[in-house]
């Protein structure tokens, strides 16, 4: 199916120390710590992110916990598609409490067959000798035009993921890619137009005209995804809706993705 990885970082307090091991707040998201996806359906070429919280780990007197997280992906027949064996890790309880946010991600190949899949996350508390698992189903759609890998980053190279919560004065980058586009029979080039609208809490556009762009030249013939990006300067506090739309002008198809964005004053 592709590559997979799991990351867990201890951030803040949330549960009692004597709680039993558990995996809670499990959600499909747009990027690690990103906004919750409205549906667990993915086009080939997308990346599945599954965010979760681990609670009830056993910490020693120095605030350390030893644990391991593994991932298993199976198809509708129960056959293994991808397995990531549990990898031992150590958490240091900097802020006290007992909450360990984690994020698993899975690269869905551009040739991945359509169907229903199950992702299983398993956590082992190595000190307490206990394990806990959680499963979620997701669907890979047939090949088609759409927007994939939608998420924010704090850098233009999209190396540092950013949650959908920013501070007034920051600039965040909305990253995405078009997939499933057709090409002109003569030029062999696609024509994909994109537009960005941002709506305020009242559903009103923050700009009279949307920001636009088009990918129509110098696209290698073997390229199946066109990565694109919009920078967004956070010059106003509030809650917003980011509406990203794309149109395949050759295949006459369109797609729309909306995600929330919250900006705080930071004081």
**pLDDT tens per residue across span 196-220:** 999 999 999 999 999 999 999 999 9
Tell me the whole-structure pTM to 2 decimals: 0.87
User: Into how many domains does the chain fold?
Assistant: 2
pLDDT of residue 99: 84
Per residue in 140-192, pLDDT (tens digit) is 999 999 999 999 999 999 999 988 899 999 999 999 999 999 999 999 999 99
**What is the structure's pLDDT at 29?**
94
**Domain's final residue, options 82, 111, 140:** 140
End of a domain among 140, 159, 193?
140
- Here the CATH number for the domain that contains residue 90 is 2.60.40.3880
Give mean pLDDT, residues 78-85: 92
Residue 127 has pLDDT above 80, yes or no: yes
Domain that holds residue 95: 4-140
Q: Which of 103, 120, 140 is the endpoint of a domain?
A: 140
> What are the C-alpha distances in Å from 204 to residues 7, 159, 161, 207?
37, 32, 28, 9
If one compares 246 and 60, the residue with the highest pLDDT of the two is: 246
State the chain's mean pLDDT as an integer.
Answer: 90
Instruction: Please tell me whether residues 29 and 61 are part of one structural domain.
Output: yes
Same structural domain, 85 and 191: no
């Amino acid at each position: 199916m592709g590559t997979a990885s799991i990351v867990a970082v201890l951030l803040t307090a949330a549960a009692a120390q004597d709680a039993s091991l558990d995996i809670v707040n499990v959600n499909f998201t747009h990027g690690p710590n990103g906004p919750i996806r409205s549906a667990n359906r993915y086009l080939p070429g997308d990346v599945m992110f599954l965010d979760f919280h681990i609670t009830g780990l056993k910490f020693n007197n120095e605030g350390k916990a030893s644990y391991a997280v593994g991932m298993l992906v199976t198809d509708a027949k129960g056959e293994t598609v991808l397995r990531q064996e549990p990898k031992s890790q150590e958490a240091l309880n900097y802020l006290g409490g007992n909450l360990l946010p984690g994020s698993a991600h899975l690269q869905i190949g551009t040739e991945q067959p359509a169907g229903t899949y199950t992702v299983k996350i398993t956590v082992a508390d190595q000190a307490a000798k206990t394990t806990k698992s959680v499963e979620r189903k997701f669907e890979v759609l047939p090949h088609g035009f759409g927007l994939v890998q939608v998420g924010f980053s704090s850098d233009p190279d999209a190396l540092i993921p950013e949650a959908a919560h920013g501070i007034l004065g920051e600039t965040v980058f909305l990253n995405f890619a078009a997939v499933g586009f057709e090409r002109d029979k003569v030029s062999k080039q696609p024509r994909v137009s994109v537009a960005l609208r941002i709506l305020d809490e009242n559903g009103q556009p923050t700009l009279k005209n949307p920001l636009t762009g088009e990918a129509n030249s110098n696209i290698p013939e073997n390229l199946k995804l066109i990565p694109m990006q919009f920078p967004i300067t956070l010059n106003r506090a509030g809650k917003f809706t980011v509406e990203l739309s794309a149109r395949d002008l050759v295949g006459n198809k369109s797609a729309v993705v909306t995600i929330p964005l919250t900006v705080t004053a930071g004081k």
